[in-house]
Structure 1
Amino acid sequence: MSEPLEILKQYWNHQSFRTPQEEIIASVLAGQDTFGLMPTGGGKSITFQVPTLMKSGLCLVISPLIALMKDQVKNLQSKGIKALALTGGITQDEWITLLDNCQFGNYKFLYLSPERLQNDWIVDRLKSLPIELIAVDEAHCVSQWGHDFRPAYLKIAKLKTIFPKVPMLALTASATKRVQEDIIAQLQLENPKIFTKSFARENLAYMVYAVEDKVHFAQKILKKHPEPAILYVTNRKACLETVKHLEAQGISATYYHGGLSGKDKDHNMTLWMEENVQVMVATNAFGMGIDKANVKTVLHIHIPPNLENYYQEAGRAGRNGAKAYAVLLTNPSDEIHAESQFLNARCDTAFLKTVFIKLCNYFQIAFGEGIDETFSFNMLHFCTRYNFPTLKVFEALKFLDNQGIINLTKEFSEKTTLQFTISSKELIRYMSLNPNDEPLLLAILRTNPGIYDHQTAINTALLAKKTNLDEDKIIEVLHQWHHKQIIELHAKSNDAKITFNEIREDDKTINRVAKYLESQNKLKEAQLQSVFEYIHNESQCRTSQILHYFGEAPSADCGICSYCIQTKTPKKDILSLTNSILSLLASEELNSRTIEKRTNYPKEDVIFALQKLLESDRIFITATNLYSLKRH
């Protein structure tokens, strides 16, 4: 039998393991239940993939993330390793065929969502497979105290009774001490070997700055450190606006969010991965499976919903071991916006039930039907039809997804079909009267035979190329023709797909998960409060604060975070600077850039002095993000 290191070299071309990969693999090979806590970038998948390739049988991988399952299967297949993922949206016959392939086709990895374990016939089929290892990824989802609890994970424990001699490996990248203990209990791990890698990142400097112009401050950091960077924002609109601001300052950037088509995601990702642009501006849809070692800076210009998310996103910087920066920019209005986005958007049981019933009606699903049916879904259209607030609906759908009632897949698609409703003779006459429309009409006729006879899908991107018109302009002209009754136009956009995992039962469906909704709402509030405490705590090392949150006792301050730098860097004549600032603000409100120019002090000193004046309640930041003197 090959040694683990030989397998690692053969398939991944790595010369050594990271701590504690090798120890986890040894535990699994010894047939021991194992728990592994490996923060972001630690290489969790290696710990179940390597031992499986050393055995003759199959590894069953339980994962809640469809996109991650597909990504890992694709990577394994590219190495010549047989793997498949059983995801939603396929018929029972297709399921049976795929499971037959697993049983007789020498497959090494079978990826499955936890919701599938609720189907008894699937569990029965698993019994016939040569399973030698069960890997539970994102294991924190089994704990009600985790930041992404999914009740379906509670069903995983029954695999212990079905496969009593098969070791189970539970893996997570972020879990507090309480969550770790809960994972072990809920999965019924037997005397597990526990391996936890420290949350400390010696090369990562955590920075928190209170500034009035976040984008301007971010630009300065990105110009000072021109290496690859990620800038996280909370919504799609901010993605586009931030890219424009950065490019206006000569900083190359692209963007990534859940509403992009797969083609655009791949294109923008390639631009950044190959370093044709410096900055990836992204929502939290970006990051899964990203393996770019030389990211120098991760910036957040909006407050994250919890420290678990923040730690994972910040941890994408400095994976090559070089010094890197995780920068969180704040101002006083952030807390109001964060509460509005993360807390006010929470839904109660009544709203959840209403959304579910309307969703079923929207897709014309009858009571007692709908299981395994998949539909394209336009969030904006749904919310407009029923006069629902978009954010609140999204939270409701995410909760239904977490509970396994539906699968919500972000997947943008747009389909435009049209048919001419006037005769060819009338069309020729129209072209003679409207010569500006002639190139587009001719391009449509030449590329779409049969367009007089039936609704025909057209490729607007191809038409744009042929006519040298913008795609948006083509869509605009098509709508004009539709209103003039020259064509019948159908343009449909979808930003997601929804698969129903259960039959429609309305009250019974929602009442079953209502208790989880209440506890999740309380947890979100507590987690956001922890973020606020992290931001406002100016009297403790930033790294130490994060380690304490995850139940780890730091041995010493990190020496490189914003707190440590302020305490160890002697400030030149700081009293004189603060007096100068107070004198300036006595006559007018100013931003930090103007204060820098007028005082002629370095930016770092000015920021330090402003923060001290804010802390001592001598100045405040106005609603227009200017510094103003506090009149007592």
Structure 2
Amino acid sequence: MLPAPTDDILHVLRQTWGHSTFRPLQEDIIRAVLAGQDVLALLPTGGGKSICFQVPALARDGLCLVVSPLIALMKDQVENLRKRGIKAEAVYAGMSHQEIDQTLDNCVYGPVKFLYVSPERLLTDMFRARVGKMRVNLLAVDEAHCLSQWGHDFRPPYLRIAELRALLPGVPCMALTATATERVREEIVERLQFSPNYQVFQQSFARPNLSYSVLATEDKLRRLLEVVRGVGVGKTSIVYARTRRQTEETAAYLQQHGLRAAAYHAGLPTEQRTRTQQDWMQNKTHCMVATNAFGMGIDKPDVRLVVHLDAPDNLEAYYQEAGRAGRDEKYAFAVLLDGPNDADELRRRTQQAHPPLDTVRRVYQALANFSRTAVGGGELVAFDFDMQQFAETYRIKALDAHNSLRILAREGYVQMNEAANDPARVFIPINHTDLYRFQVANAQHDQLIKSLLRFHGGELFAGFQRISENSLAQHLKLSVVEVRRMLLFLHRSSIIQYQPRHDSPQALFTTPRFDADKLPLNQKQLNDTREQARLKTESVIGYAAGGRCRQRLLLEYFGETDAAPCQVCDFCLAKKKAKQTALPSPALREQLLTLLRTTPQTPREVLGNFTPGQAVTVTAQLRELVELGELHYAPDGRLEV
């Protein structure tokens, strides 16, 4: 594969995205993969990772296969590419067999440039039979930290990507992530079986324009209000809350104090989530109070403030979420509110997140009963899943159910998908002649078919097209219920393939269902995972405790040990302010020496003779006098001349 000239890739960038230059490292990454090299790209949140695989894919004939674990992110990227006139498809849990079959056919025979695939779909028989027929020019592995058991979001299906590489000989692989420690980076390279001449491109995790702060408080809502007002009432902000209820209560509090705030979480109706997000994107709402999934894949560069009401479980998640502020490279703030009992609460949550083995097996059996899945069946068959209904039906504590399902997902036995807005879709599997004959013989459905063709044209014969049942109903002057009934009739008559609209959370078994007692859970591995989670929790607590530059603490966690202080975090700013105010005067020096000649005192007793505002200056002067030998500590800890 010959590398593309720089002018070619710049032309792709200008023509498709309207940018005249690449961001740092992007061009180097693109040219390396165009030269046929395997590449590990480590770029911070907002660093433009998607451009790194999209540009080389467009600069060459063929299709880019993108592995991504997040359905919502896949859909966003596919939609964004389509808006730019680029053919893109996605295959993920919840799609019907017919729809997957048609999508893969389009990738083999049609002009598709990007195929996004969730990892559990990679090595199904249907996918394996098709992928070798596709003209794949690049394999891109997004969120590559999911390959590592030491990463913060390990996904077992990712481990099988190496098997996929065997089906794509000679195709370069690009792994991308925003958060990876040295150990995780090594594991990514090993798991993906990179060629010996692979390249690693790493942009510093430092964000010079982002000011990190941890604010101790006993009243988080009051402190939040102060922070939001301090940054600017009309500025765009995100507030991360741990629970759905907390998002709603916090948004209501901010609204009561005159701020344009809204709550966002997966439990809201699809229309409300969509409208809420659009209002925030268009600056009709300034403050979005959301659970942590919000913001993934959303391109809004002017976020000036990200606040966490509670610390996430690990620093990878905190760095990624806080990094959604200031993507326009202008000054922005990332604030963590730290309550007096937060460290103990975080440790307790980490302990609860790893329930006993018998509880995990019980939840697995309950999930099989809930979905009516027999032993040996159910692999990759998605079903609607309501956590509250599930927990109540089988009398399991909701927290135990949630944490057990997370363990089962991490071990590769189940997958949980948040509610996603899947609009209705239609495909016409018969030819024009047979369709016309049906219309002549079934006049009552003729107008509906004509309307479908008027709205979507010949594309309906090529693959599944999203339709609006509401628009059809308005056009035909029928109710939505009647339109759906007619579409179902056409589906059962094999005239169309119809996928009704779907927006419920789903679950699925990623392997054939086991007998719960024989589920091969590895106790040692679960113990290792628990210990790993404990260490990550302590890293978060250490970050909150501070004592040093916040950004340096984060960078050292990711292996950057030689970073200079950022000069803009709360610690650096306080240190700078202390230096400016702590300029000891000759008068203060003489005052202290006179005081201690009369009565030797401990440093705390000395400070009692001054106002709180003088504490920093007095402490600095005492330290200097000790260093100069004019004061020394007596055995009882008192300072004397």
TM bucket normalised to smaller: 0.7 to 0.9
Partner of 2:180: 175
2:69 corresponds to 1:64: yes
* 1:524 counterpart (533, 538, 545): 533
Q: Letter of the aligned partner of 1:279 in structure 2?
A: C
Alpha-carbon distance, 1:366 to partner: 1.8
Alpha-carbon distance, 1:224 to partner: 1.7
2:159 corresponds to 1:154: yes
Greater C-alpha Rg = 2
Partner of 1:211: 217
2:134 corresponds to 1:129: yes
Partner of 1:249: 257
2:332 corresponds to 1:327: no
The 1-side partners of 2:616 and 2:224 are apart by 17
Matches within 5 A, 1:299-318: 299-318=307-326
CA RMSD of aligned residues (A): 3.0
**Secondary structure of the residue that 2:303 maps to in structure 1?**
coil
* 1:389 counterpart (397, 401, 410): 397
The 2-side partners of 1:606 and 1:158 are apart by 66
Q: Letter of the aligned partner of 1:520 in structure 2?
A: T
Q: Letter of the aligned partner of 2:511 in structure 1?
A: E
* 1:96 counterpart (85, 98, 101): 101
Q: Letter of the aligned partner of 2:341 in structure 1?
A: S
2:506 corresponds to 1:500: no
Alpha-carbon distance, 1:62 to partner: 1.0
**Secondary structure of the residue that 2:519 maps to in structure 1?**
helix
Structure 2: stretches of 5+ with no match in the other structure: 422-477, 486-501, 589-609, 621-641
The 2-side partners of 1:151 and 1:502 are apart by 11
The 1-side partners of 2:611 and 2:182 are apart by 48
Q: Deviations over 1:219-258 (max 9, x none)?
A: 1121121211111110011111111211222222111112
The 2-side partners of 1:229 and 1:516 are apart by 40
Task: Evaluate the alpha carbon distance shift between residue 607 and residue 5 of structure 1 in structure 2; reply closer, same or farther with a 3 A threshold.
Answer: farther
The 2-side partners of 1:397 and 1:68 are apart by 22
**Secondary structure of the residue that 1:209 maps to in structure 2?**
strand
Partner of 1:489: none
Alpha-carbon distance, 1:286 to partner: 0.6
Task: Evaluate the alpha carbon distance shift between residue 158 and residue 12 of structure 1 in structure 2; reply closer, same or farther with a 3 A threshold.
Answer: same
Count of residues paired in the alignment: 511
Matches within 5 A, 1:384-463: 384-411=392-419
2:350 corresponds to 1:342: yes
Give the TM-score of the pair, scaled to structure 2: 0.75
Q: Percent sequence identity over matched residues?
A: 41
Partner of 1:186: 191
Partner of 1:198: 204
Is contact 2:365-2:516 (8 Å) kept? no
Q: Letter of the aligned partner of 1:219 in structure 2?
A: L
Partner of 2:564: 556
Q: Deviations over 1:159-202 (max 9, x none)?
A: 33322311000111100111111111111111211100100001
Is contact 2:247-2:264 (8 Å) kept? yes
Is contact 2:413-2:511 (8 Å) kept? yes
Matches within 5 A, 1:535-550: 535-538=544-547, 540-550=548-558
* 1:354 counterpart (351, 362, 367): 362
Is contact 2:101-2:126 (8 Å) kept? no
Q: Letter of the aligned partner of 1:143 in structure 2?
A: S
Is contact 1:118-1:152 (8 Å) kept? no
Is contact 2:237-2:287 (8 Å) kept? yes
Task: Evaluate the alpha carbon distance shift between residue 280 and residue 507 of structure 1 in structure 2; reply closer, same or farther with a 3 A threshold.
Answer: same
Alpha-carbon distance, 1:84 to partner: 0.7
The 1-side partners of 2:221 and 2:616 are apart by 19
Alpha-carbon distance, 1:606 to partner: 12
Alpha-carbon distance, 1:403 to partner: 4.2
Is contact 1:261-1:412 (8 Å) kept? no
Task: Evaluate the alpha carbon distance shift between residue 167 and residue 392 of structure 1 in structure 2; reply closer, same or farther with a 3 A threshold.
Answer: same
Partner of 1:142: 147
2:120 corresponds to 1:115: yes
Task: Evaluate the alpha carbon distance shift between residue 4 and residue 242 of structure 1 in structure 2; reply closer, same or farther with a 3 A threshold.
Answer: same
The 2-side partners of 1:84 and 1:449 are apart by 28
Partner of 2:36: 31
Q: Letter of the aligned partner of 1:195 in structure 2?
A: F
Alpha-carbon distance, 1:50 to partner: 0.6
The 1-side partners of 2:219 and 2:583 are apart by 23
